[in-house]
């Protein structure tokens, strides 16, 4: 595999996509992002862009198939992949929180003892419960987590919250924030010297773009 270009993985379509593309463009990197493409070459920087599901990005970067990736810290941390977090990007801010039914008279984290909690983040939730000495059943589901308490599938949820309106519309209230997240750039631990130099150039441009906005 060519070790003199940077292969950058970004989310194909979702909440991170637009800001990820915008950041790369603001760094002066030009490429053709024809709809439906899975890979494209930059025309004025030795880089390729891969368009992937966000959940797949940490694994591709760990394996060195992609050299860099833009992903939510929540996804990167949950994946437990061995990658370097090289820069915080300031967009897609959200939090991973525990929610319970609104009518629940919640007093504190020990209320979760012996309860079941539905989540797509079993690792981060498990760490939080362990750190707080709480023994609860983690019910891993792959989507529509917020509906679980109202249909009797679980006592609580642990999911990503941004405005809070999804919790609210499912009769839930946010009771604990366990992780704060934003988009980050992650890098492979196996970069060639050329790739390290290209990464430094890219980070310099990203920091300039960020500084110009502040």
Residues that bind Zn ion (CB under 5 A): 54-55
Nearest to 184 by CA among 78, 54, 82, 87: 87
Binding mask 132-171 for ligand PRT (x = CB under 6 A): ---------------------------xxxxxxxx-----
**Of the two residues 47 and 161, which places its CB atom closer to ligand PRT in the complex?**
161
Distances, alpha carbon 1 to alpha carbons 4, 60, 66, 192, 202, in Å: 9, 14, 11, 11, 21
Nearest to 161 by CA among 201, 119, 104: 119
Stretch that binds ligand PRT, among 10-18, 20-28, 110-118, 130-138 (CB under 6 A): 10-18
For strands 68-72 and 116-119, give the pairing: unpaired
Stretch that binds ligand PRT, among 9-17, 22-30, 127-135, 197-205 (CB under 6 A): 9-17
Distance of closest approach, residue 56 Cβ to Zn ion, in angstroms: 8
Distance of closest approach, residue 204 Cβ to ligand PRT, in angstroms: 25
List the interface residues with ligand PRT, window 76-115 (CB under 6 A).
92, 94
**Of the two residues 5 and 72, which places its CB atom closer to Zn ion in the complex?**
72
What does 208 interact with, of Zn ion, ligand PRT, none (CB < 5 to 8 A by kind)? none
**Of the two residues 55 and 174, which places its CB atom closer to Zn ion in the complex?**
55
Nearest to 177 by CA among 101, 86, 89, 74: 74
Residue that has been written with the tokens 């441009």 in this structure = 205
Both tokens of residue 2? Answer: 């060519």
Instruction: Return the bridge partners of 160, or none.
Output: 96
What does 76 interact with, of Zn ion, ligand PRT, none (CB < 5 to 8 A by kind)? none
Cα-based angle 182, 186, 187 (whole degrees, multiple of 5): 170
Q: 70 φ, ψ to 5°?
A: -115, 120
Query: Do 182 and 91 contact (CB within 8 A), yes or no?
Result: yes
List the interface residues with ligand PRT, window 46-65 (CB under 6 A).
53-55
**Of the two residues 107 and 165, which places its CB atom closer to ligand PRT in the complex?**
165
How many Å apart are CA 26 and CA 29, to the nearest integer? 7
**Of the two residues 45 and 51, which places its CB atom closer to Zn ion in the complex?**
51
Under the rule (CB under 6 A), what is the footprint of ligand PRT? 11, 14-16, 53-55, 72, 74-75, 92, 94, 159-166, 181
């Amino acid at each position: 595999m060519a070790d003199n270009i940077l292969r950058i993985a970004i989310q194909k379509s979702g909440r991170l996509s637009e800001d990820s593309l915008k950041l790369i463009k603001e760094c002066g990197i030009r490429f053709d992002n024809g709809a439906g493409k899975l890979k494209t070459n930059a025309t004025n920087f030795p880089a390729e862009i891969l368009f992937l599901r966000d959940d797949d990005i940490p694994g591709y970067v760990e394996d060195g198939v992609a050299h860099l990736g833009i992903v939510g810290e929540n996804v990167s941390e949950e994946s437990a992949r061995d990658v370097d977090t090289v820069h915080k990007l300031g967009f897609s801010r959200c939090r991973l929180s525990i929610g319970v039914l609104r009518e629940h008279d919640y007093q504190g984290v020990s209320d979760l003892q012996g309860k079941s909690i539905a989540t797509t983040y079993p690792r981060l939730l498990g760490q939080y419960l362990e750190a707080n000495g709480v023994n609860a059943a983690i019910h891993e589901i792959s989507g529509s987590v917020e509906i679980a308490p109202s249909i009797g599938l679980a006592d609580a949820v642990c999911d990503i919250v941004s405005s809070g309106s999804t919790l609210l519309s499912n009769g839930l209230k946010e009771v604990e924030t366990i992780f704060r997240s934003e988009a980050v750039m992650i890098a492979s631990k196996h970069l060639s010297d050329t790739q390290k130099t290209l990464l430094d150039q890219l980070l310099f441009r990203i920091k300039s773009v960020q500084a110009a906005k502040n």
